[in-house]
């Protein structure tokens, strides 16, 4: 007499997302005024370096405006955003008018959102520059929400090939990064030369 047994085990699993994802992308706009426009505006501002608001008030339009959409919000940047959200630690600086800079550099190394903590440009003011923003960020939009910062690179600032951008948490203009670097993007924007004024407006959208 032969006997046999068989058993089937059927398992059903249901997969569900643990939560909604969050994405941040930045629209980078570069407005450019040449040396003649800058010099003319300076004469009418008492010799002070004009910014985008001064040019607008004087009705001097930029000779060229370009835009680039895209960036990677970096791991260190996400950590700072979450720290600000939870107030841990309480001393963590926010990206306000006195703690935000827009950086540009001539580096072209690919962006790595996990490991990047700085621009890829070589050290020194002839390769990289972080400019303190001109004022408080502008908050707008519904969905997505936006946060826009603007920084003016004067006649002596950032005179090199512009190939990369980033926002950091510094309090004074300079050529070294101040952690954390919030985001980073690659975009060829040409060469800024001495005497020109370029303004960068970075509009970060959250979805």
Greatest Cα pair distance in the chain:
111
Domain span holding position 113: 24-206
Query: What are the two backbone dihedrals, phi and then psi, of residue 83, each rounded to the nearest 5 degrees?
Result: -65, -40
Kindly indicate the confidence band of residue 92, based on its pLDDT and cuts at 50, 70 and 90. Answer: low
121-175 pLDDT, tens per residue?
Answer: 999 999 999 999 999 999 998 777 899 999 999 999 999 999 999 999 999 999 9
34 part of a folded domain: yes
12 part of a folded domain: no
Distance, C-alpha 33 to centroid of its chain: 21
- What is the pTM for the complete model shown? 0.86
Are 29 and 38 in contact by the 8 Å Cβ rule? The answer is: no
15 part of a folded domain: no
pLDDT computed for residue 141 by the predictor:
80
138 part of a folded domain: yes
Residue found under tokens 């826009």: 148
What is the pLDDT averaged over residues 79-97?
76
Q: How many domains does the chain have?
A: 1
Are 129 and 158 in contact by the 8 Å Cβ rule? The answer is: yes
5 part of a folded domain: no
- The vertex-50 CA angle with 160 and 100, nearest 5°, equals 65
41 part of a folded domain: yes
* Angstrom distance (rounded) from CA 179 to CA 2: 75
51 part of a folded domain: yes
SS3 133: coil
Q: Cβ-count burial of 187 within 10 angstroms (0-12 exposed, 13-18 middle, 19+ buried)?
A: middle
pLDDT computed for residue 88 by the predictor:
65
């Amino acid at each position: 007499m032969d006997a046999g047994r068989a058993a089937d085990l059927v398992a059903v699993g249901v997969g569900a997302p643990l939560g909604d994802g969050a994405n941040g992308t930045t629209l980078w706009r570069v407005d450019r005024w040449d040396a003649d426009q800058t010099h003319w505006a300076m004469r009418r501002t008492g010799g002070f370096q004009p910014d985008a608001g001064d040019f607008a008030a004087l009705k001097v339009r930029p000779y060229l405006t370009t835009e680039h959409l895209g960036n990677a919000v970096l791991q260190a940047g996400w950590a700072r955003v979450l720290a600000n959200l939870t107030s841990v630690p309480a001393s963590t600086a926010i990206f306000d008018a006195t703690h935000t800079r827009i950086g540009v550099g001539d580096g072209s190394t690919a962006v790595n959102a996990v490991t990047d903590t700085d621009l890829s440009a070589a050290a020194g003011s002839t390769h990289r520059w972080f400019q303190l923003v001109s004022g408080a960020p502008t908050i707008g939009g519904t969905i997505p929400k936006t946060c826009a910062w603007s920084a003016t690179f004067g006649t002596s600032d950032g005179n090199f090939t512009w190939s990369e951008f980033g926002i950091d948490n510094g309090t004074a203009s300079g050529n070294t990064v101040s952690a954390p670097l919030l985001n980073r993007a690659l975009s060829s924007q040409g060469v800024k030369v001495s005497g020109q004024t370029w303004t960068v407006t970075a509009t970060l959208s959250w979805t």
